Structure 1
C-alpha cells in the first residue's frame, strides 16, 4: 500500500499573510481575499491568518485595543506554526477599512518587540482605509454637525476616527501618533518591502477618496469633468497612479445655464444632507442612538476588562513606548448613509500653502474656516477654467493641521496609490474587495487581480 511521503522542509511555507477586517466586520468579509490568495498560493506556499478577536461590535473598542488583539493572534500563530515545524521568515499584512489602521498599530507593536529582526516584512496593503480619519473638512455647519455627532456614536473607535481623542499621555489623537515620523508605527511601515493602498474615487459611503488615498486634493470630486486615465489591462477600474486625470474639453453651455449651474451648486449640494436629517431624526435617530449607547457601554466594559488583564491578553507585553525618540447591519447602513451626504470643503484660493504642516498654523486655518462657503465654489470653478495643460489643478481640501502632517509622514514612507473606480454598484466600499458574493460587485475581481499581481511571495 502506498503511503504519503512526509513533507520536505522545502515544501513548508515560510510566509504568513495576515488579513484584518474593518468596522462592524467579521472574518467572512475577507473571504474573497483569502480564497483568491489561496487559489494563487496553495498551502505549501503561504499561510493565511484572518484574526477573529475583533469581530462585530468588538471593533467599537478602538484601534489600540484592536491592534493589541491582532498582534497577540499573530504571535500565537507564529508560536503554533513553530511547534509544528514551520519556520516563518516572511510576513505580509493586509487591512480593509478600519482594519488598515488596526494593522498599522499591530505592526508597530511587532516591530518594537524585535519581530522584524527575525522575519522579513514584505507586503503591506490597505483597501478603503481611512488613514486620515473620517471627519469631514472643517468648513460648513453641516460638516461640523456630523463631526460632532458621528464621533460620539462608535465608542472609542468613533473618537479616534474623528480625531477627538487624546491618546494616552501624548495629548494628541491616536491617528496623529500613528503617523508620527518618530513613532514605532512609521518605523514599522518603512520596513515593508512593498506598501500599497487602494482607494475608491466614488460611492464609498464610509471612507471617501482623500482619506483612503492619503491626498490633500480630490481630483475625482467631479469625475465627469475630467478624463480619467486607467491602467492598461485593468480598465475601467484601476486608475493610473502616475497620470490619474487629464483635462477634458468642456461642453459649451448657454450663458443662462452656466449661471444656473454656478448659482445653484451650493444650494442643491446641501439638499441630500437636509433631506436625510428630516427623515433620519424622526425615524431612525432613536434606534441608532439607542444601539450606539448600548454598544458604547459594552465597549467600555470590554476595554476596562482588557486594561485589567481579564480579557485573556497580557497587555503589559504591548504597553510599550510609542516614540523612539443584525441591528448592527441596520446601524451600519444608517451611519454610512449620513456620512455619505457630507461634502468636501476647500481652502480659499491663494491659501494652498497652508497645506504644508511646516507653514500651517491653527489660527490661520480657523480664520480660513470662518470665511464664506461660496469660496469653495470658486475653487471648484477654477477646475473648469484650468485649460492650460494636460494635468488640471485642484483646490486643497480644508483639512486639519494633524491631517496635513499625516499625509506628509505617510508619503515620506512611500505608498503606491491605486485609485479605484467602481461603476456597477453604489456600495463601492464593499465592492472593492467583493465583500460578499453579490451582483454588481464583479469589479472587485479586477481590483483583487491587480493586488495579487503586485503581491510578492
Structure 2
C-alpha cells in the first residue's frame, strides 16, 4: 500500500481514509489506489487510518474517533516537520468508518484545526448514519436488535442506539446529528458532502440508514423503472430521478417455469448453506462477542488512562461537544441477519400496530433504558411522522431519534448516489472493491465516479 499512500512535500491536500467494522487498512487499498491513479504524490497526500484495525473497532465510535483524530494530528505534524504544508482536507469513511470519521471531524473542529484548513470533500460509502436497528417487527427482528447490540461491545450499543452518551441522555448517533454539536458544525465546513448507498444486497447497512432516508423506494424493484446516471449505467442511479413508477397498464411478462426453476436452482445452495451455517454462526457470534467485549473493555480502560498510544485523552474529553458550550468557553477564554425481510411502515390508519413498533422491530424494555421526558418527545416525533406518511411512499417505522437525525442531517445538504451492485451478493464490500474479486468489478465504476465527479482537489 506504500506505493499509493503518503505524498510529497509539494502536496497541499490531505485525504484521510477510514475503514469499517472488523476492517483493516487493506480494505481501503483500492480506494487509495484509485485516488493515486488520478492525483500524483505532488498533488495529494493520502493517509489510511491504522489504529482502529480488526477487533479495535469494537471499542466504540468515541474511542475510534479519538484515535483517528490523533492520527490526523500526528500526520499533519509529520508533514510540517518534513517541510510540507497541508492547506486542504478531505475525509472518506466506509461503513462504521463514516461515523468514526464524523466524530474525528468534530474533535478537529473543536480544537480549531479545521479553521486552518480548507475542508473539501466528505464522502461516506455505505455508512449507517441512522444506526443498524432493523425497522421491522416480529421475533426475528427483535432477536437481531437485542442480540446484535450486545455482541459488538460498545460499538454495538452505539450502532443500535441503546447507549446514553455521557450526560446527554441520548444515543451517541443522536448527539452526532445534534445541530448544536461540534460534529455537525465540523461537517458543515466541508464544501461537498457525498453519500454512496447500496439499494440491494447490503446485509451490513441497508438503504434507509446509508441514504439517510425515512422511505425506501427500492423494496420492490420489479414495480419501478430504474433511471441510471449517464455514463455510469447499470450501477449508479440518477440521483435526481433514480426511480419512477411503472405505468399502470404495464404488465411484466411472467417468468417461464424453466426460468423460475433455473433461478431456484441457483439460489438453493445459498439457502441450504444459510440453514446449515447460520445457527453455528450465531453461536460463534455470541461467544466471539463475549470475548471481544471483555478485551474491548480492557483496551478502553487503557485508552482512558492515556496508555494506549493516543496520549492523554482528557485533551479530547475536555472539549465540549455542544456549540453553546463552545461559545461560552470562547467568550470566557464522539452483516447477515439485518435485511432479510420486508420493511415495516408507519400508517395513520393502523395506529395500534404502530404504537407497538415505535422503537423499531417490537422493542422491549430490554432494548433501552428509561429516558423519561426524552422518550415522550421521541413518541411525539413518531406520531407526527405517522400522520405525514403517504400511501404511495410510506414512512419506515423508525424511532424518534432516527427521524430527528434525518431532519438535522438533511439540513446540511448531501449529494446522494444510489448504487445497484448486480454481480455480488455482498454489495457492502463490493461498493469500495474491498478486495480484488471479479464479482466486485462494479465497485470500480463507483470509485471512478467518485474520483472524477465528486472528489474536490
Normalising by structure 2, what TM-score? 0.81
Q: Deviations over 1:54-80 (max 9, x none)?
A: 000000000000000000000000000
- Map of 1:212 onto structure 2: 210
1:290: Cα distance to partner?
1.1
The aligned counterpart of 1:61 is 59
SS at match of 1:440: helix
Q: Any unmatched runs of 5+ in structure 2?
A: 1-7, 254-270, 325-334, 359-375
Distance (Å, rounded) in 1 between the aligned partners of 2:436 and 2:404: 38
Instruction: Assess if the C-alpha contact under 8 Å between 1:11 and 1:45 holds in 2.
Output: no
Instruction: Report the alpha carbon displacement of residue 363 of structure 1 after superposing the two structures with TM.
Output: 4.2
**Where in structure 2 are the equivalents of 1:91-170 lying within 5 Å?**
91-137=89-135, 139-170=137-168
CA contact (8 A) 1:201 1:208 kept: yes
Seen in structure 2, the aligned counterparts of structure 1 residues 14 and 248 have a Cα distance that, compared at 3 Å, is same
Cα distance in 2 for partners of 1:107, 1:299 equals 23
Q: Which residue among 299, 302, 305 is the counterpart of 2:302?
A: 305
Structure-2 residue corresponding to 1:289:
286
CA distance in 1, matches of 2:119, 2:204: 29
Residue in structure 2 matched with residue 189 of structure 1 by the alignment: 187
Structure-1 residue corresponding to 2:169: 171
Q: 1:413 aligned to 2:412?
A: yes
Alpha-carbon distance between aligned partners in 2 of 1:284 and 1:34, rounded to the nearest angstrom? 32
In the TM superposition, 1:376-455 aligns within 5 A as: 393-453=392-452, 454-455=454-455
Q: 1:173-212 CA distances to partner (integer Å, 9 max, x unpaired)?
A: 0000000000000000100011101000000010000000
- 1:342/1:62 Cα in 2 relative to 1: closer, same or farther (>3 Å)? farther
Query: Per-residue deviation at 1:145?
Result: 2.0
Contact kept in structure 2, 1:276 and 1:338, CA below 8 Å = no
**Structure 1 residues not aligned, in runs of 5+:** 1-9, 255-273, 326-335, 372-378, 383-392
Give the alignment of 1:57-96 within 5 angstroms. 57-96=55-94
- Displacement, 1:140? 3.1
Contact 2:193 2:414 in 1 (8 A): yes
Q: Distance in 2 between matches of 1:67 and 1:192?
A: 18
Q: Is residue 139–residue 398 contact of structure 1 (8 Å, CA) maintained in 2?
A: no
Q: How much has 1:349 moved relative to structure 2?
A: 4.6
> 1:301-341: per-residue Cα shift (whole Å, max 9, x none)?
0001111111122201111111012xxxxxxxxxx222232
Matches within 5 A, 1:40-55: 40-55=38-53
Match of 1:228 among 222, 226, 229: 226
CA contact (8 A) 2:13 2:86 kept: yes
Aligned-partner Cα distance in 2 for 1:128–1:281: 24
* SS at 1:204 equivalent: coil
Instruction: Give the SS at the match of 2:134.
Output: coil
Q: Cα gap change, 1:367/1:142 in structure 2, threshold over 3 Å: closer, same or farther? A: farther
Q: Return the offset for 1:282.
A: 4.7
Give the distance between the partners of 1:179 and 1:362, measured in 2 at CA. 15
TM-aligned CA distance change 1:85 to 1:366, over 3 Å: closer
Secondary structure in 2 matching 1:147: helix
Structure 2 residue aligned with 1:6: none
CA contact (8 A) 1:197 1:415 kept: yes
| Equivalent-residue separation in structure 2 for 1:12 and 1:317 (angstroms) | 31
Q: Deviations over 1:414-452 (max 9, x none)?
A: 111111011111110011011110011111111001100
**Is the CA contact 2:193–2:413 (under 8 Å) kept in the aligned structure 1?**
yes
CA contact (8 A) 2:219 2:342 kept: no
Residues 81 and 225 of structure 1, relative CA distance in 2, 3 Å threshold: same
Q: TM-score, normalised by structure 1?
A: 0.81
SS of the residue 1:52 aligns to: coil
Contact 2:381-2:403 at 8 Å conserved across structures: no
Count of paired positions: 397
Pair 90,286 (structure 1): closer, same or farther in 2 beyond 3 Å: same
Cα distance change on mapping 1:253 and 1:85 into 2, 3 Å: closer
3-state secondary structure, aligned to 1:337: coil
